[in-house]
Structure 1
Amino acid sequence: MKLLQALFFPPEQPGGVSSMVPYILERFQNSNWDMDLFSIPKRVRGKGQDEVRFATFDWEEFKHNPTVQKYIQTFRDYSWWAKMRINTKYDLIHAHHPIPALVMKRLFPDTPLIVTIHSSFERELVLNGKIKEGGAEHRFLTSLYRELEHCTDRVLTVSHSFRQYLAPYMDRPEEVTVIPNGFDEKRFKPVERQNEVPQLITVCRLVPAKGLDVLLEACAELKKRGHPFVLHLIGDGPIRTDLEALAVELNIYDEIIFYGYMLHPEQFMPFADIFVLPSRAEAFGSVFAEAALCRLGLIGTDVGGISEQIEDGVNGLLVPPDDKSALCDAMQRLIEDAELRSRLSYAAWEKAKETYSLTRVINQLRNIYAQFMQG
């Protein structure tokens, strides 16, 4: 059986999906499965010219919208690149983004197709202030979920909360299979730490949806309460300059290290004490599982896939989104109580090893793939 894993972003791009799928590929290949990886490089822009049609809605209702036009052109470019580069017949295609899924079904209509919906592009755009909920872009992007349901053989997603999010936009949401993300345990090596000054760390794309403005305001309050700390902020994005300016305004710039993008943050994370990320929404929140495997104390918001990973007071602390006081209280609590931090971080590590191991994902996917092998 020959399989194709179809990504949108190249494997070297940051993010849970791009960093996870190559390890899935490696595990399958080590087990003598014949599997390839495909994605579109950044340089391919404006090449595709094909007409685009969807089975469940007419996208031309939105054709004058610039965001929709850009999405459709990306669809055309992916199709152009795939036709140029794919010359192998596959028995099964597993796509990890709506564009690869819809393109592959169009190019290979007789090949069984599975899609994993890892996150919500439209929700991130709303939270980042780029589009309005209920507007043309939002209606176009949410229409793609029913299209994926219609044209694929199996829809997967990464958390039960995200399946609930998808439900209003699909006809049979109960048929969506939940497979939480998994991580290669060998990449994460916890270390014994004896930091005199508490080391906080976060890893994410620097966009409004991640709530980093709330994190900086909470850190400013932490400083006012007399607690020294260092915040390691790993990642890059469009609001980096704004965050640096906010750090200066809040008088905490000297307590923060802005690293920019880092290819392998898991090599750096184990030396911190506490991982904190006050996201406003997360379909899964891969970085929390990664931080747990590094045996860090976890602080997250009670949203989406984060609250499925963290049980408050058991393996981490949860706070409401956009609540800087509650976030500061949580950070202060883990800073002051080393015994609590140790207990929570060990519980998070145990859960992550059991629930979010790559071995578990491989076994679940192998069972699904085998169903297509059998018929």
Structure 2
Amino acid sequence: MNILQALFFPPEQPGGVSSMVPYILERFKKRGWEMDLFSIPRRIRGKGTEEVKFSTFDWRIYAGNSIVDKYIQTYKDYIWWTKLRLNKSYDLIHAHHPIAALAMKQLYPETPVIMTIHSSFERELILNGKIEENGPEHLFLISLYREIEASVDQIITVSNSFKYYMGEYVQDVERIGVIPNGFDEKRFRPVSHDNQVTQFITVCRLVPAKGLDTLLLACGELKRRGHPFVLHIIGDGPSRHELEQLAVSQNIYEETIFYGYMLHPEEFMPFFDIFVLPSRAEAFGSVFAEAALCWLALIGTEVGGIAEQIDHGSNGLLVPVGDYHALSLAMEKLIIDPTFRHALARGAWDKAKKTYSLNRVIQQLKGVYEVYQATSE
């Protein structure tokens, strides 16, 4: 059986779907499966000219909005690049982005296409202040869920919460399967250490949706209550300057280290104590599983896939979104009670090892693929 894994952009960096799929492909190839990886280079811009038509809605009513126009042009570019680069047929296509899924189904109408939806692009844009809720860009993006449902043969997503979020926009939510992200445990090597001052770490893109303003406000409270700590922030993005200014105003700039982008943060994380990320939305939250495999205690928010990964008080702590006081109390609890902190870290590692291993994902995907293999024979 010949399978194509269709990404959007190339797998250039760790964290998220683009880094996970190559590991999946490698594991399947070791088991004798024939599998290719495809994506569009970031440098491809404005090449596609083919007319775009969807079967469930007329996208042209949203034309003239920059995000919609960019999305449609990228779709055209993906079609152009696929026609230029792919010259063989496949028994099954597994797409990991709406553009990839819809483009592949347009070009290979007789080939089964599976689509894994990994995140909510529209929620991120709203939370990051890029689009208005119920504005034309938002309406366009949520309309794509119904188009995907009508076009592809099977939909998979990464958490139950995101499955039911999508339920608002599709006709049959029970058609959607759930396979959480999986991680190659060999990449994560916990390190025995004893930090005299508690070391917090977060890894994310620096955008409003990740809630780092809440984190810095919580750290300001911690310092005012006399708790020593260091906060390590790995990642970059448009909010960096604003966050640095907030750290200054909270008098915690000396306790906060902004590293910028780092290629392999999983090599760095094991030396710290607590992973904390107060996201405002998260379909899955891969970095929590990665931190758990590094044997860190976890603090997250009661949203999406985070709340499915963290069992409050057992393998981490959950706080309400945007509540910096509650977050500061959770952080304080783990500073003053290292025994509890170590117990949470052990619980997080144990759950991640059992639930989010790459082997588990391979077995679940193998079951999905074999259904199509049987029908193609």
Distance in 1 of aligned mates of 2:261 and 2:26: 24
With over 3 angstroms needed to count, the CA separation of the structure-2 counterparts of 1:133 and 1:14, relative to structure 1, is: farther
> Which residue in the other structure is 2:71 paired with?
71
Q: How far is 1:292 from its partner? A: 0.6
Q: Residue type of the partner of 2:323?
A: D
> Which residue in the other structure is 1:179 paired with?
179
Distance in 2 of aligned mates of 1:341 and 1:150: 47
Distance in 2 of aligned mates of 1:9 and 1:257: 30
> Which residue in the other structure is 1:362 paired with?
362
Residues 123-202 of structure 1 aligned to structure 2 (within 5 Å): 123-202=123-202
1:234-290: CA deviation from partner (whole Å, max 9, x where unpaired): 111111111111111211111111111111111000101000000001000000000
Q: Residue type of the partner of 2:49?
A: Q
Q: Residue type of the partner of 2:230?
A: V
Q: How far is 1:164 from its partner? A: 0.8
Residues 212-227 of structure 1 aligned to structure 2 (within 5 Å): 212-227=212-227
Q: How far is 1:14 from its partner? A: 4.6
Q: How far is 1:13 from its partner? A: 3.4
Residues 256-271 of structure 1 aligned to structure 2 (within 5 Å): 256-271=256-271
Structure 1 counterpart SS, 2:245? helix
> Which residue in the other structure is 1:342 paired with?
342
1:310-350: CA deviation from partner (whole Å, max 9, x where unpaired): 01101100000000000000001001101000111101110
1:25-51: CA deviation from partner (whole Å, max 9, x where unpaired): 111111111111111111111111110
Q: Is 1:374 aligned with 2:374? A: yes
> Which residue in the other structure is 1:211 paired with?
211
> Which residue in the other structure is 2:47 paired with?
47
Answer yes or no: is the 8 Å Cα contact 1:12–1:263 preserved in 2.
Answer: no
Q: Residue type of the partner of 2:221?
A: E
Distance in 2 of aligned mates of 1:32 and 1:241: 49
Backbone CA RMSD of aligned residues: 0.8
Distance in 2 of aligned mates of 1:223 and 1:87: 60
Q: How far is 1:15 from its partner? A: 3.2
Q: Is 1:104 aligned with 2:104? A: yes
> Which residue in the other structure is 1:249 paired with?
249
Distance in 1 of aligned mates of 2:19 and 2:42: 17
Q: Residue type of the partner of 2:364?
A: Q
Answer yes or no: is the 8 Å Cα contact 2:59–2:140 preserved in 1.
Answer: yes
Structure 1 counterpart SS, 2:130? coil
Distance in 2 of aligned mates of 1:237 and 1:45: 22
> Which residue in the other structure is 1:18 paired with?
18
Distance in 1 of aligned mates of 2:152 and 2:56: 13
Distance in 1 of aligned mates of 2:254 and 2:37: 43
What TM-score, normalized to structure 1? 0.99
Q: Residue type of the partner of 1:87?
A: N
> Which residue in the other structure is 1:85 paired with?
85
Distance in 2 of aligned mates of 1:93 and 1:315: 36
Q: Which of structure 1's runs of 4+ aligned residues deviate more than 2 A?
A: none
Answer yes or no: is the 8 Å Cα contact 2:280–2:322 preserved in 1.
Answer: yes
Answer yes or no: is the 8 Å Cα contact 2:56–2:150 preserved in 1.
Answer: yes
> Which residue in the other structure is 1:57 paired with?
57
Q: How far is 1:9 from its partner? A: 2.1
Distance in 2 of aligned mates of 1:259 and 1:188: 20
Answer yes or no: is the 8 Å Cα contact 2:14–2:264 preserved in 1.
Answer: no
Distance in 2 of aligned mates of 1:147 and 1:350: 39
Distance in 1 of aligned mates of 2:36 and 2:361: 18
Distance in 1 of aligned mates of 2:198 and 2:51: 56
Alignment: residue pair count:
375
Which piece of structure 1 moves more, 60-69 or 7-16? 7-16
Distance in 2 of aligned mates of 1:245 and 1:4: 46
Distance in 2 of aligned mates of 1:330 and 1:16: 26
Q: How far is 1:154 from its partner? A: 0.4
Structure 2 counterpart SS, 1:22? helix
Structure 2 counterpart SS, 1:305? helix
Identity of aligned residues (%): 68
What TM-score, normalized to structure 2? 0.98
Structure 1 segments unaligned to the other structure (5+ residues): none
Which piece of structure 1 moves more, 75-84 or 357-366? 75-84
> Which residue in the other structure is 1:116 paired with?
116
Distance in 2 of aligned mates of 1:109 and 1:13: 31
> Which residue in the other structure is 2:4 paired with?
4
Q: Residue type of the partner of 1:323?
A: D
Distance in 2 of aligned mates of 1:229 and 1:77: 48
Which piece of structure 1 moves more, 13-22 or 98-107? 13-22
